[in-house]
Structures are given as structure tokens and as C-alpha cells.
Amino acid sequence: MHAIFQQGHPEAPVLVLLHGTGGDEHSLLEVGKTLNQQASLLSIRGNVLENGMPRFFRRLAEGVYDEADLAARGAELNEFIQEAAEKYQFSLSNVVLVGYSNGANIAIHLLLSDPTFQQAILFHPMYPVDNIPTQSLPETRIFMSLGTHDPIVPVAESQHVIQLFEDRQASVTTLWTRSHQLTYEEVQQAQEWLHA
């Protein structure tokens, strides 16, 4: 996998940046710097291509995931993050997953499948997956932004993601915006949540 690592203060969070469809390892660097200027940044490029656009896992159609591929790519991403933690000498307990759209969706998979990851910022997530682990996540903190008129993620799907984590006792903070586009307001609110 292709990634950029920018070393920050050793006691600051490590933001793992996961772009949306068509993005790359450069797409969320400025967002990461805005969220926390002292944080280390690990920005990863998805290694699945859809019509030439990088993604983190395959889908069968809009809103229909290839769940086997999601599981395989999620395990691959998890292993990559763990190897990066060893290489760059940071603790996985300091990791905050920061995902936008497709990146947020694979971040959900990591949160649900590995209790090591306990903090995440999810911009416009969606998770229409049938086989979801049921374990409780009381130590998990999540900020998520969702759109009231999102052309990609219907409101019912947004509410499904909220319920997914609330049902597992995670602490969930939500911000509703209008569309699917990532806005300054979302990043600002996520920054305040991260520093709280």
C-alpha cells in the first residue's frame, strides 16, 4: 500500500487518514493538519481501482458492498497500520481513524473488527453490511458527519450507522450537514471534538 507518514509530537494523536473514492494519500493531509497541528499523520492510498479511481474495497454497485473483499481489504489495511506502528514507533492506542466516504466505510470495518481502534472521525459514512460483529464497544469514541440531502448516502443509511455504534455502547457525536461534500464546518467541529 502507498502511504505518507509525517511525524508529529510523540504524545499527540496519530491520525490515520483514509480518503474517499478517487482520492489518494495526499487528499486528507490538510484536513489532518487542521484537526491537530501536532499530530502524526499516516495517510494511506486505497489499492483497489474502480474505473481508475482508488478505493479501499470493491463494491458490486452504488451502495452494494463486496463484503468478502471488504473483509480481506480490511485485514490488509489493519496489518499495514500495525506494521507502520512498528516502523514509525507509535502506539496503536494513539490512533484516530479519519475517513471520508469510502475511507470512513473501511474505518467502520476496522472499528467493528478490532477493539484496538477506539477513536474515529467518520465523514459521510455508510455501512450496508449484513455480517456485523455484535461485541460491545464502550471504550469507543466516534465523531461522524452526515448529510440531510446526501445524494450518495440516504438519511436512513446515515441513521443506521449511528444506531450501529450506539447499540454497541460507543460514544457517538454527530453533525448533520447538507450534502456529501466535506465542509470546513465539519472539520472544525471534528477538531473541537478531538481536543475535548
Which residues are designated catalytic? 101, 150, 180
Task: Count other C-beta atoms under 10 Å from residue 57's C-beta.
Answer: 24
What phi and psi values does residue 164 have, to the nearest 5 degrees?
A: -50, -45
Cα–Cα distance for residue pair 131/128, rounded to 1 Å: 10
Q: Which residues pair with 99 in a beta bridge?
A: 18, 122
Which residues, at least 6 apart from 158, have a Cβ–Cβ distance to it below 8 Å?
Answer: 125, 126, 146, 147, 150
In contact, 65 and 129? CB cutoff 8 Å:
yes
Q: Are strands 141-147 and 171-177 parallel, antiparallel or unpaired?
A: parallel
Q: Which three cell numbers stand for residue 20?
A: 474517499
First to last CA, the chain: 32
